[in-house]
């Protein structure tokens, strides 16, 4: 027993001296608890809602009030027919409530009134939930008017009928929602891990010392390491898009050139992230774990791929602004599903370019210090 305790004491001392291992053992479980506990939220709230009120009567305002005070919708715009397309294309709104002219008059007469609900369908899960919210609210409003004019017996024929219309993904096919996210996920994982392992492999084998002796500075070494993986990752990513079009009927409604630019910027950021990981790790095992941690979890949980960002608490929403997959998914869905031009998502491409540049600079600085 003494021998076992002696070995345990020695191992405990080694763990305490190894701050990285100690940090992983103590910090990672708490980090996972907080991340999964707050990010894994299927409740959809704060849905950005726009109103096209063509009637402007107390009845129409009552329906608008029912949506706003439901706790699920935030009224962000008052639009007309000309502004709806731009608002949906730019992701300014997730739903538009169109209240037709004569709504109040028809309700007072006991006539049926169709109310159109336009829903952004690029996120099929959110769109399905928003449709359910809208139908429930309109049904509740219809029952209120029926009771008001003594038509309880006509509950099977509601006065306010919802006419939902889903844009960009009318059938609400989950594949059209999941595949863009899978493209981002696969590209990020493969690019980040490949570059991280590539540089650390040089350290483990000792060949990095030979490279240091060559007439080559750190920046050229980084560029040379990045180019082949960028080409391979770009071919792989575009191949995934083509295969998805053939097997899963993924549409291509936008520009191939814009798609190529968006994928390239995203891959540059992923490769730069891998290089930054390689500057922190000394072994391939540690590099793999770090690369998977910084690429897998943010892309899966904090990009809007699986869980809507609007449903996350404020501090996690703030963290999503440094996750490149967030911007890539917006650009990718805008190109593939919506077919919109650069004006609708150029800010996301700028964000990808800034992330790639800053991460590359940080990786270059760290590797240059190790180089000297």
The arithmetic mean of pLDDT across residues 79-91, rounded, is 82
Q: What's the whole-model pTM score?
A: 0.79
State whether residue 340 is helix, strand or coil: coil
Nearest to 254 by CA among 84, 89, 94, 88: 89
Q: The tokens of 224 are what?
A: 């040379």
Q: What is the pLDDT of residues 156-199, one digit of tens each?
A: 467 788 888 888 888 888 778 788 888 888 888 888 888 877 77
The arithmetic mean of pLDDT across residues 202-228, rounded, is 66
Per-residue model confidence (pLDDT) at position 257: 93
The arithmetic mean of pLDDT across residues 9-25, rounded, is 64
Per-residue model confidence (pLDDT) at position 13: 66
Per-residue model confidence (pLDDT) at position 154: 47
List strand residue ranges (DSSP E) for 125-213, in order.
160-167
Mean predicted lDDT score pLDDT of the chain:
80
Per-residue model confidence (pLDDT) at position 353: 94
Phi, psi at residue 96, to the nearest 5°? -130, 125
Q: The tokens of 343 are what?
A: 């004006």
Q: The tokens of 290 are what?
A: 């770090």
Per-residue model confidence (pLDDT) at position 155: 47
Per-residue model confidence (pLDDT) at position 42: 61
Out of 3.40.50.2300, 3.40.50.1360, 3.40.1710.10, 3.90.650.10, select the CATH number for domain 47-167.
3.40.1710.10
DSSP tag of 315: H
Per-residue model confidence (pLDDT) at position 4: 60
- Element (DSSP H or E) covering residue 119: strand 113-120
Q: What is the pLDDT of residues 310-350, one digit of tens each?
A: 777 778 888 889 899 999 999 999 999 888 889 889 999 99
Nearest to 177 by CA among 337, 321, 44: 337
Is the model more confident about 52 or about 111? 52
Which residues are within 8 A (CB) of 352 and not within 5 positions of it... i.e. 6 or more apart?
A: 262, 265, 266, 268, 269, 324, 327, 328, 331
Residue 132 clears pLDDT 50, i.e. is over it: yes
Domain boundaries of the chain, sorted by first residue: 47-167, 174-371
């Amino acid at each position: 027993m003494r021998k076992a305790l002696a070995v345990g004491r020695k191992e405990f001392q080694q763990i305490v001296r190894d701050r990285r291992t100690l940090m992983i053992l103590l910090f990672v479980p708490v980090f996972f608890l907080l991340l999964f506990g707050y990010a894994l939220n299927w409740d959809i709230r704060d849905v950005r809602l726009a109103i096209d009120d063509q009637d402007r009567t107390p009845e129409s305002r009552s329906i608008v009030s029912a949506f706003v005070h439901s706790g699920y919708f935030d009224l962000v715009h008052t639009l007309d027919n000309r502004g709806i397309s731009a608002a949906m294309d730019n992701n300014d709104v997730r739903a538009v409530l169109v209240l037709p002219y004569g709504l109040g008059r028809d309700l007072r007469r006991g006539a049926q009134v169709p109310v159109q609900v336009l829903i952004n369908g690029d996120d099929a899960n959110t769109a399905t939930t928003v449709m359910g919210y809208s139908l429930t609210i309109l049904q509740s409003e219809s029952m209120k008017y029926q009771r008001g004019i003594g038509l309880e017996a006509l509950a099977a024929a509601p006065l306010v009928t919802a006419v939902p219309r889903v844009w960009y993904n009318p059938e609400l096919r989950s594949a059209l929602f999941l595949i863009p996210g899978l493209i981002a996920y696969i590209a990020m994982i493969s690019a980040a891990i490949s570059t991280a392992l590539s540089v650390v492999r040089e350290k483990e084998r000792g060949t990095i010392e030979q490279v240091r002796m060559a007439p080559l500075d750190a920046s050229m070494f980084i560029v040379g390491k990045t180019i082949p993986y960028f080409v391979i990752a770009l071919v792989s990513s575009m191949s995934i898009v083509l295969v998805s079009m053939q097997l899963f009927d993924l549409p291509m409604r936008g520009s191939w050139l814009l798609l190529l630019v968006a994928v390239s910027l995203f891959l540059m950021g992923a490769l730069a992230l891998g290089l930054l990981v390689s500057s922190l790790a000394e072994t391939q095992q540690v590099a793999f774990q770090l690369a998977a941690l910084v690429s897998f979890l943010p892309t899966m949980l904090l990009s809007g791929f699986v869980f809507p960002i609007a449903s996350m608490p404020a501090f996690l929403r703030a963290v999503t602004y440094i996750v490149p997959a967030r911007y890539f998914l917006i650009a990718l869905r805008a190109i593939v599903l919506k077919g919109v031009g650069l004006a609708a998502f150029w800010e996301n491409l700028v964000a990808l370019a800034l992330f790639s540049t800053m991460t590359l600079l940080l990786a270059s600085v760290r590797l240059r210090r190790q180089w000297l």
